[in-house]
Amino acid sequence: MSSRSVPEIERGVKARGHGGLVRLRAALPGNARELVGEYERHLELERGLSAHTVRAYIGDVVSLLGFLHGVGNADGGEDGGEAAAEDVTALAGLDVGELRAWLAEQHQAGVSRTTLSRRAAAARTFTAWAHRVGKLERDPGSRLVAPRPHRMLPGVLRPEQAEQVMSASSAGAAERDPVALRDHALLELLYATGIRVSELCGLDVGDVEFDRRVVRVLGKGGKERTVPFGVPAEKALRSWLDEGRPVLVERVNGAAATALFLGVRGGRLDPRSVRRVVHDGVGSVPGAVDMGPHGLRHSAATHLLEGGADLRSVQELLGHATLATTQLYTHVTVERLKAIHDRTHPRAR
């Protein structure tokens, strides 16, 4: 087992952010670094995962291998240097006991159940791959059980609050300011379709089909789906494309020339800017829960189900890989119905 504890490794990485993770990865033994690189290419090229997802998987694997090899000094000091110099097999000694010890020390350090569950899943995915490609004789991750994460019900807007958000942004767009026109269009499209912020930012002008009122979205794993939108979103998008975008596109450099949504400097709009727009838009409605783009996605899914849509249709619209993810929204609607019942029924209490 590692001579340095997970809390020490975790503190070293957290204190230095992404740079700390890079240094911890560099301090791994040579064979382990090569293995991480091979796994990273598998995630990117064979599984087609997003850069954000790959970074999360690799971070967890680097933490695991750092624990396994006793590399806890993210500065690459004496402890890391000695471990890196050893001629060791990358996964020597990795069994279910080591996996449990890795998670147990994180638990003792105060890591949340949700994070532990995610890291256990990342470890299982990694060991299954390592076994499949012949790096491990057996798959120890298949015996690893982690605590179930607490499933928090996502905060959502009430339908009338969503209407107020759109009305407020429409009032701003009435001034015909290019940025206000853009913000109204992206708010309408996010709520109308329930697409992810990364999917929104990746849209090109050619992905919108006005004759069918649908948008082609490239989702997780490079999977494309077609999502419909309504008349309000159509009107907002047309106004943005006809009056707002031409003003900003003059500042564009070639790479973003096809982007549907542009920033004030003409480049493709980034997720951080979209989050700011959503926070500001929702914040203009008294009593509305603070949320970002994912909150609008939750709201759209909830309102679809409350309006009578079936789970399979909502699953397809949202681009969920499994129905289990979409079923979370049934809990949201049930909780809201219970709250309404408690508040209004004379025999509720």
Q: Of 196, 245, 298, 303, which is the active-site residue?
A: 196
Residue 218 backbone phi and psi in degrees, to 5: -100, 110
Q: Of 4, 25, 245, 320, which is the active-site residue?
A: 320
Residue 196 is a catalytic residue: yes
Q: How far apart are CA 312 and CA 83, in angstroms?
A: 51
The structure tokens 């994180």 sit at 106
DSSP reduced 3-state for 59: helix
Q: Which two tokens stand for residue 285?
A: 């409605």
Q: Which residues of 25-40 are buried (b: 16+ CB within 10 A; e: fewer)?
A: bebbbebbbebbeebb
Residue 341 is a catalytic residue: no
Q: Of 220, 225, 275, 279, which is the active-site residue?
A: 220
Angle at 54 between CA 52 and CA 55, to 5 degrees: 65
Residue 320 is a catalytic residue: yes
Q: How far apart are CA 90 and CA 126, in angstroms?
A: 13
Is the CA virtual torsion 336, 337, 338, 342 positive or negative?
Answer: positive
Q: Of 33, 47, 294, 336, which is the active-site residue?
A: 294
Q: Of 25, 69, 297, 298, which is the active-site residue?
A: 297
Residue 220 is a catalytic residue: yes
| Catalytic residue annotation | 196, 220, 294, 297, 320, 329
